[in-house]
């Protein structure tokens, strides 16, 4: 029997709750599709700080490198909010992305049919359906550029730098063009080329790579315009490719269009195709430990893992179908509805429901 080694990084806040539900679903899916999964737990974020003093212990990196894939919950919480920047739980997340070379972050924003009314956008704006793939560069740009804090003549200043090299832009552009080729063949590259040099290089490089993908229609958009177009006419987009920080912002916006940030999964891939899978939402410390979080984004992240890293597309589809069916029967608090035939459920009840539908 095929066996996949999965590194499990539950993290902080609601992380442990949602990841438990996702592994429950994965184990059942494995049983149904005739493969085996072996889980290896490792520490990251605040949990790792408390236990080892460091947000990403070397042992965690080793476990992730030795695994076929990584499943992550979320990091961060009030408890660690006062730590200096370089010691915060978030540093663990950035460091694992860097350590595993996860430069391509895929963030699909889709509307699930049963949740159409949960979108804050009017139905006539959403149109028939919504299916956008945000491809975010994840290991470069301002997140990893030169930074510092100085004091001169009694005035404190701080800076961060946005820097992109041609090879960094080329490889994320290729990922995005490949993605667009498999989808509706439209790629929108988002930058701020009217102001930033790094964006002008981004645009020029994307244009050059476009020559290898004549079947994909490429457009460019400034990030401020894109933020507006996403709520004005979201269905104009198929694949969006953008830098680390613009992608961080636009993917939150795109996700909200789908009704709840609690629904959206993500994949972060490296050159070897192995990856890290996590919900795009955060650790939600305000509801941690209450068994009320929505585990569906993490469950859908497991589906992405099966598709993009483990080569089990049928198993991925089974999970996605089970999620849609579950939404017709039950909802967690974030996506609750007044419809009386739909039950309000806890995080673990939702996990059990999806598992039973596999």
Q: Which residues bind Mg ion (CB under 5 A)?
A: 248
* Bridge partners, 38 (sequence order): 5
Q: Assess whether 238 carries a catalytic annotation.
A: no
Choices 90-98, 213-221, 230-238, 330-338; region in contact with ligand IPM by CB under 6 A? 90-98
CA 141 to chain centre: 18
C-beta closer to ligand IPM: residue 93 or 303: 93
Q: Write down the least CB distance from residue 96 to Mg ion, Å.
A: 15
Could you say whether residue 248 binds ligand IPM (CB under 6 A)?
yes
Could you say whether residue 131 binds ligand IPM (CB under 6 A)?
no
C-beta closer to ligand IPM: residue 248 or 320: 248
Catalytic residue among 5, 185, 222, 252: 252
Q: Assess whether 143 carries a catalytic annotation.
A: yes
- Per-residue binding letters, 31-70, with ligand IPM (x by CB under 6 A): ----------------------------------------
Residue carrying structure tokens 């996702």: 22
- Identify the burial level of 67 via C-beta atoms within 10 angstroms of its C-beta, where 0-12 means exposed, 13-18 middle and 19 or more buried: buried
- What gap in Å lies between CA 302 and CA 320, rounded to an integer? 10
What is the DSSP track for 184-253?
TSEEEEEE-TTT-HHHHHHHHHHHHHHTT-TTSEEEEEEHHHHHHHHHH-GGG-SEEEE-HHHHHHHHHH
**64 token code pair:** 């992730």
Eight-state DSSP code of residue 331: E
* Bridge partners, 349 (sequence order): none
What is the SS3 assignment for 58?
helix
Catalytic residue among 4, 24, 28, 143: 143
C-beta closer to ligand IPM: residue 13 or 351: 13
Residue in the shown chain whose Cβ atom is closest to ligand IPM: 90
C-beta closer to ligand IPM: residue 7 or 330: 7
Q: Assess whether 224 carries a catalytic annotation.
A: yes
- What gap in Å lies between CA 143 and CA 279, rounded to an integer? 19
Q: Write down the least CB distance from residue 278 to ligand IPM, Å.
A: 7
Pick the binder of ligand IPM from 93, 96, 102, 347 (CB under 6 A): 93
Residue in the shown chain whose Cβ atom is closest to Mg ion: 248
Contact 335, 5 (CB under 8 A): no
Q: Write down the least CB distance from residue 252 to Mg ion, Å.
A: 6
Q: Assess whether 192 carries a catalytic annotation.
A: yes
Catalytic residue among 36, 50, 224, 286: 224
Contacts of 13 (CB under 8 A, 6+ apart): 73, 74, 75, 76, 77, 282, 283, 284, 285, 288
Catalytic residue among 10, 24, 28, 192: 192
**163 token code pair:** 């820097």
Q: Assess whether 248 carries a catalytic annotation.
A: yes
C-beta closer to ligand IPM: residue 93 or 330: 93
Active site residue ranges: 143, 192, 224, 248, 252
Residues that bind ligand IPM (CB under 6 A): 90, 93-94, 248, 280
């Amino acid at each position: 029997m095929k066996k996949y080694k999965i590194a499990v990084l539950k993290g902080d806040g609601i992380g442990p709750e949602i990841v438990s539900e996702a592994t429950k679903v994965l184990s059942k899916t494995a049983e149904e599709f005739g493969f085996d999964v072996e889980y290896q737990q490792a520490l990251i974020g605040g949990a790792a700080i408390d236990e080892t003093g460091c947000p990403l212990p070397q042992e965690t990196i080793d476990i992730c490198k030795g695994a076929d894939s990584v499943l992550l919950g979320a990091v961060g919480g009030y408890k660690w909010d006062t730590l200096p920047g370089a010691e915060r739980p978030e540093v663990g997340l950035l460091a694992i992305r860097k350590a595993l070379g996860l430069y391509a972050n895929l963030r699909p924003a889709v509307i699930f049919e049963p949740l159409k009314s949960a979108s804050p956008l009017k139905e006539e704006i959403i149109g028939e359906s919504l299916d956008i793939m945000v491809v975010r560069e994840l290991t470069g740009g301002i997140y990893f550029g030169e930074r510092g804090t100085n004091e001169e003549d009694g005035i404190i200043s701080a800076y961060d730098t946005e820097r992109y090299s041609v090879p960094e832009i080329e490889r994320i552009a290729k990922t995005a063009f490949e993605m667009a080729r498999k989808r509706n063949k439209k790629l929108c590259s988002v930058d701020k080329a009217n102001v930033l040099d790094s964006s002008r290089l981004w645009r020029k490089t994307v244009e050059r790579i476009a020559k290898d993908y004549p079947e994909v229609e490429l457009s460019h958009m400034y990030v401020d315009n894109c933020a507006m177009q996403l709520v004005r006419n979201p269905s104009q987009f198929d694949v969006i490719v953008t830098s680390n920080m613009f992608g961080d912002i636009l993917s939150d916006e795109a996700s909200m269009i789908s009704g709840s940030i609690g629904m959206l999964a993500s994949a972060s891939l490296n050159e070897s195709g192995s990856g890290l899978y996590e919900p795009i939402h955060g650790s939600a410390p305000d509801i941690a430990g209450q068994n009320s979080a929505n585990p569906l984004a993490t469950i859908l992240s497991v589906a992405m893992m099966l598709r993009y890293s483990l080569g089990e597309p049928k198993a991925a589809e089974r999970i996605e179908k089970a999620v849609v069916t579950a939404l017709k029967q039950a909802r967690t608090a974030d996506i609750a509805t007044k419809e009386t035939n739909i039950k309000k459920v806890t995080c673990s009840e939702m996990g059990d429901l999806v598992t039973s539908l596999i």
